[in-house]
Structure 1
Amino acid sequence: MTLDAVKSLIREIPDFPKKGIDFKDITPVLRDKEAFNYSINMLAKALEGKNIDLIAGSEARGFIFGAPLAYKMGVGFIPVRKPRKLPPTTIKYEYELEYGIDALEMQKDAIQKGQRIIIVDDLLATGGTAYAVLKLIEQLGGIVDSLLFLIELTSLNGRKKLDGYDIISLIKY
């Protein structure tokens, strides 16, 4: 298995979720046990040598990669969810997507001050979702060590929104 083989499994769905958006569908990667396993292993390899306490993943595809990665690395996992999906008490951050406005929440006791955290998601597009997660982490006193993505859409300049942070992406479009 190679990253090129994983990339070849990612389907592009035009005009989803709205006209003008070319959605990158990772479902074929998830169905393929070798590709999914390889993807998790490559994400873990990208984090070798990092001293972290937790991995944070946003709903929903950040869960898919973040939770098994946290397990593999022997650290805890923080779910960052859509509003009203976590029991109180939570903090909230509103942000813009490439196709609208959304919000994310995190439990107030998810992080202890000074803990080092990696943000994991499937895709870096405009950077809005990742930026919201890092603002929640920092609001609670956590330190964002790095942001890790399986896929990056370079033309959408998400790195610019995350300037000053260590960004790692495995597959670029």
Structure 2
Amino acid sequence: MDPELLAVAERVLDANRIAGRMLVVAESCTGGLVSAALTEIAGASDVFDRGFVTYSNEAKLDAIGVNQDILETFGAVSIAVAWAMAQGALKHSVADTAVAITGIAGPGGGTAKKPVGTVVFARAIRGGDPDRVTADVRHFGDLGRSEIRRQAALVALELLMPEPDTAATAGP
């Protein structure tokens, strides 16, 4: 596995272990790459609850409860769907922090409004205000399928880092 992904995954696991946080991911275009990086590290199970690979729209509906209307209205690669994926991942897990990834890794599937390399991320915190979900759109460009997926996985891993106030206030 990519050494950079592994290094970031190890840092994420260590920081969340200290913070006492459990993690869940809902992946589409990364196809389990984030989960694979986390689970490559021994002892990940005390921090990583589970990963959902919801590659198809049907999987987004069935596995994590994304609403059909949201998918039809905004499309799978949208802030609304990423937000719903993150919320659904939290709902279907025991994790404290969820990150969702949906995008267009190519080589096909891009449009003028959503070109290849467009990836949308969302992070949700259990018990937090639903409006506190963090969402971001990144445009990596047409770097090739593997590199887009790798870049997306790196961003998702960074989003799994505990918020500074969470790590500072966590008990032993």
Give me the TM-score of the superposition, normalised by structure 1.
0.40
Q: 1 or 2, which has the higher strand percentage?
A: 1
- Higher relative contact order, structure no. (Cα contacts within 8 Å, ≥ 6 residues apart): 2
TM-score, normalising length: structure 2: 0.40
Q: Report which of the two has the higher share of helix.
A: 2
